[in-house]
Structure 1
Amino acid sequence: MSIFEVRGLEGLSLGSNKFNNSLDFSVIQPLKFLFHLDLSHIHLLTEYNDFYLSLFAVQFDTITLASCKMKKFPDFLRNQSNLFFLDLSNNQIHGELPNWIWKLSDLRYLNISYNYLKTLEGPISNISFKATSLNFRSNQFQGQLPILPPVSHLDFSINNFHSALPASIGQSLEFAYFFSISNNKLYGSIPGSICKATHLRFLDLSDNYLSGTIPQCLIENGYLLVLKLKRNKLNGTIPDTFSDCNLQTLAINQNQLEGELPKSLKNCHGLEVLDIGNNIIKDTFPFYLNTISLKVLILRSNKFYGPIAHPELNTTWPILQILDAASNNFIGHLPIVLLST
């Protein structure tokens, strides 16, 4: 306990231990200079009634209380006017995300993932702070997708949002670098305005009920590194406009896409993962992709046909690690040169 007599202590990390009730958290209260507190993975917090009261007099900028079996938002957080970083992930918090959390004007990072939250108390588009990261992953949020705040990292995946994507979503994502809303119940088409989000590098709309075609501007703008549209109801063809391409991952498995595989994919020199399985694409084997950085090529369950061996070239794939060409109409021999390194 003499550790808590160090009155100049600025950071305290006690997470991932097995403390018992002998640890009295009221000793934290006199530490007036403490700004960083990490008590993650300490289940004692659910049993210790005086814990929150002992923190009211201390102003933090970083609080990490992940995996503490908490069932509600700690009241002492209302008083944290200097709070910059808050992690309440992997707890047992139910019900409503309180509106007062948006009034913490210095808050930049909020992680409430892996809880049981269902509703929002008030809109998050009118938040008073300039957040950079909001992680709502794996909760039970439902109903209309809220108007999104101008945040660089947004993760709303694995929830129950049931609505169309807002027509003006591109404006909401103007400053977003990462946006994932996979594993929800979104329907309708992908709005063309999403291409106004020119800072986006990671976009994941997988595991929804989205229909219509892939916006051509998503393919031709060249800023995305990861594009995941798997397990939707997208139709039409894949736009053949990969001219200025920086993609590293393109995953559009299990849609209703048809036509040929775009030849312009050869311009995606950094492409490592191409997953177009479970569609209706009808084409020959894409020999021309051996010049790029492919490590994973998934062609499964389409209508590819013809030989895998190139009639004129001994095509090698020196860095390919996974090839799935099952359930197509390929014929002839499987060339050993394809498996050469």
Structure 2
Amino acid sequence: MTAHIIFWLFLIPLSLINFSTNNFSVNGYYLGHERSLLLHLKNNLIFNPTKSSKLVHWNKSDDDCCQWHGVTCKAGHVTALDLSHEYISNGLNDSSALFNLQSLQSLNLAFNDFCSMIPQELYKLQNLRYLNLSNAGFEGQVPMEISHLKRLVTLDLSSTFTSHNSVKLEIPNIALLLRNLTDIAELYLDGVAIFARGDEWGRALSSLKGLRVLSMTSCNLSGPIDSSLAKLHSLSVLKLSHNKLSSIVPSSFANFSNLTVLQLSSCGLNGYFPTDIFQLQTLKLLDISENQYLHGSLPNFPPFASLHNLNLHNTNFLGPIPNTISNLKQLSTIDLSYCQFNGTLPSSMSELVQLVYLDMSSNNLTGQLPSFNASKKLKYLSLFHNHLSGDLPSSHFDGLINLVSIDLGFNSFTGNVPSSLLKIPCLRELKLPYNQLSGILGEFDNTSLPVLEMLDFTSNNFHGLIPLSVFNLRTLCFISLSSNNFSGTIKLDVIRRLSNLTVLGLSYNDLLVDVNFKDHHDMSSFPKLRILRLEFCKLSGIPSFLKNQSTIISLHLSNNQIQGPIPNWIWHLDSLMNLNLSHNFFTDLEGS
């Protein structure tokens, strides 16, 4: 009995060792075979080895292909292949070794430049669950054979970087492509030419019960949006922008309880937008911009809303901004520009501490500006072309160290320029034109505004001297101080300091602009201007440096005291499109 026990104790480990060895041999055989297929694939692909980060490292001397960049293995088989961003330009056809990798579950060929049809032989990869051919340079008709990949969960055929629809889905149409792909959870067809009516593409999609992500922007889709889409209860992301839907937005969209992203911009939408959609607790991004016939208003936002990004630009939304906008604690981007909103800006906007981008320009908003000093992440603030009024307290902008652009033009703001706006290290654009701001401008500190490119104080009530320190802001490209009450003398050669300057406006003040330069021979140090406005500047002559201005397109020197003949060189400024020399004391044309 003891002998039998000893025998079995010896035999069982031996058999396990033998089984493990056989299993290793089988796996090793398959892996060796698939390694050969990968090398064959590499040898047939045409790619840029200087930019490749994966294929270039596949090496015959390296036996373990599972360690190669872009290759993933499981149980001795290659199960995933990622050749995205490999600068492949050709070499993939129906005879490619790729289609013999029968265990592939994931294939990513995105961001290449194959310049060929999508291979029909893809149908051989029956285990594929993930297929990404986006922005890979494929063209022509989507092959019917893709519809045989019944295990697909993610399909991406999108083409977002081409101006024309190079991939087409006509024969087969979208219904034939999707009829067997019932497991699809994520479908990306952006930029694919589909040319289908609303009922066609709607019903084709409605059979995909587990669909979570649907992205079909710029697909030449027609409307109206079909009611059958309401069956997609699992939908989390819906992107249909840049199609010709000419449709209302179905109220059933408010029943998508998992919806996080809804993008319907530039779709020809009309009717009244369902307010219940705004109140979806899961919704993070809503973009219905560029639908000028779409009407609506903002509801009261619920507490703990998830909205991060709200874009209603160029729609026909109207009414007030609700106080409950402060419930959007995660809001980082809000664009309500070119709408019909009215009423005052609620003071509760001061509580939007995650705000990065705010644009409410071109509306009918009134009242005073709320404080934004708690929005420390704010980079862009635009409220131009409204009816806002009152002073601009400096405290409203304290601590906005990330602000890049502010535009409060075309309102009725009064008082002085907030001193805090002149101390923002990231500020590139400071635009306050067409207000009723007044006072004397203080000195500008180059260290406080090290990257300022645009300074626009046009049409206000500033007076006194223009501080010469403004010409020490070396990064300035655009200066407009026209239509104020500035006085004193400006020597025009001060602009030599501003090598990036392209636009200068000093018109309609009480200035004397001195065009007599110390060095008339060195004109190369002047910046290359495109627009120069010096009307009503008591000029005694045409600035001589303009003779060398090959880039200038608009020159306005009217209502000055320029005498003598108009010089011939002014007719040889090749880029010049607008010239106004009226109301001076010219005698004739030079040489006439």
Q: Would you call these one fold, judging by a TM-score over 0.5?
A: yes
Say yes or no: does 1:109 pair with 2:241: no
| Counterpart residue type for residue 310 of structure 1 | E
Shift of 1:218: 0.5
Say yes or no: does 1:291 pair with 2:416: no
| Counterpart residue type for residue 194 of structure 1 | I
Shift of 1:19: 3.7
Say yes or no: does 1:244 pair with 2:374: yes
| 1:235/1:175 CA distance change after superposition, 3 Å | same
In structure 1, distance between residues paired with 2:177 and 2:406: 53
Give the match's secondary structure for 2:316.
coil
| 1:8/1:140 CA distance change after superposition, 3 Å | same
Shift of 1:115: 1.3
In structure 2, distance between residues paired with 1:122 and 1:317: 49
Say yes or no: does 1:29 pair with 2:153: no
Q: How many residue pairs get matched?
A: 334
Shift of 1:194: 1.8
Give the match's secondary structure for 1:267.
coil
Shift of 1:229: 0.8
1:57 aligned partner: 180
* Among 373, 390, 400, the residue aligned to 1:268: 400
| Counterpart residue type for residue 297 of structure 1 | L
Shift of 1:323: 1.7
Give the match's secondary structure for 1:130.
coil
The structure in which a higher percent of residues are helix is 2
TM-score, reference length from structure 2: 0.52
Give the match's secondary structure for 2:406.
strand
Any residues of structure 2 matched to 1:112-131 within 5 Å, and which? 112-117=240-245, 118-127=247-256, 129-131=257-259
In structure 2, distance between residues paired with 1:32 and 1:172: 43
2:218 aligned partner: 90
| 1:19/1:143 CA distance change after superposition, 3 Å | closer
Say if 1:173 and 1:194, in contact at 8 Å, map to a contact too: no
Say if 1:96 and 1:120, in contact at 8 Å, map to a contact too: no
Any residues of structure 2 matched to 1:10-21 within 5 Å, and which? 10-15=129-134, 17=137, 19-20=139-140
In structure 2, distance between residues paired with 1:217 and 1:276: 19
1:280 aligned partner: 412
| Counterpart residue type for residue 170 of structure 2 | E
Shift of 1:134: 0.6
| Counterpart residue type for residue 309 of structure 1 | G
Give the match's secondary structure for 2:259.
coil
Say if 1:98 and 1:120, in contact at 8 Å, map to a contact too: no
Give the match's secondary structure for 1:171.
coil
Say if 1:232 and 1:254, in contact at 8 Å, map to a contact too: yes
| Counterpart residue type for residue 235 of structure 1 | T
Shift of 1:244: 2.1
Say if 1:248 and 1:270, in contact at 8 Å, map to a contact too: yes
2:168 aligned partner: 45
Shift of 1:190: 1.1
Moved more, 177-186 or 6-15: 6-15
In structure 2, distance between residues paired with 1:215 and 1:142: 28
In structure 2, distance between residues paired with 1:261 and 1:230: 17
* Among 64, 71, 82, the residue aligned to 2:196: 71
Identity %: 28
Any residues of structure 2 matched to 1:113-262 within 5 Å, and which? 113-117=241-245, 118-127=247-256, 129-147=257-275, 148=277, 149-150=280-281, 151-159=283-291, 160-166=293-299, 168=300, 170-171=301-302, 174-239=305-370, 241-246=371-376, 247-262=378-393
| Counterpart residue type for residue 125 of structure 1 | A
In structure 2, distance between residues paired with 1:154 and 1:50: 29
In structure 1, distance between residues paired with 2:140 and 2:148: 21
In structure 2, distance between residues paired with 1:315 and 1:64: 48
| Counterpart residue type for residue 56 of structure 1 | R
| 1:314/1:201 CA distance change after superposition, 3 Å | closer
Can you give the 5+ residue segments of structure 1 that lack an aligned partner in the other structure? none
Can you give the 5+ residue segments of structure 2 that lack an aligned partner in the other structure? 1-93, 95-120, 160-164, 476-592
Which structure's relative contact order is higher, taking Cα pairs within 8 Å and 6+ residues apart?
Answer: 1
In structure 2, distance between residues paired with 1:335 and 1:125: 58
Say if 2:139 and 2:168, in contact at 8 Å, map to a contact too: no
Shift of 1:126: 2.0
Say if 1:28 and 1:55, in contact at 8 Å, map to a contact too: no
Shift of 1:48: 1.1
1:339 aligned partner: 473
| Counterpart residue type for residue 30 of structure 1 | H
Shift of 1:296: 1.6
Shift of 1:51: 5.3
| Counterpart residue type for residue 171 of structure 2 | Y
Say if 2:303 and 2:327, in contact at 8 Å, map to a contact too: no
TM-score, reference length from structure 1: 0.88
For 1:147-183, what per-residue CA distance to the aligned partner results, in whole angstroms no more than 9, with x for missing partners? 21331111111112223323x2x12981111111121
Moved more, 56-65 or 157-166: 157-166
| 1:208/1:121 CA distance change after superposition, 3 Å | closer
In structure 2, distance between residues paired with 1:97 and 1:82: 20
Shift of 1:220: 4.0
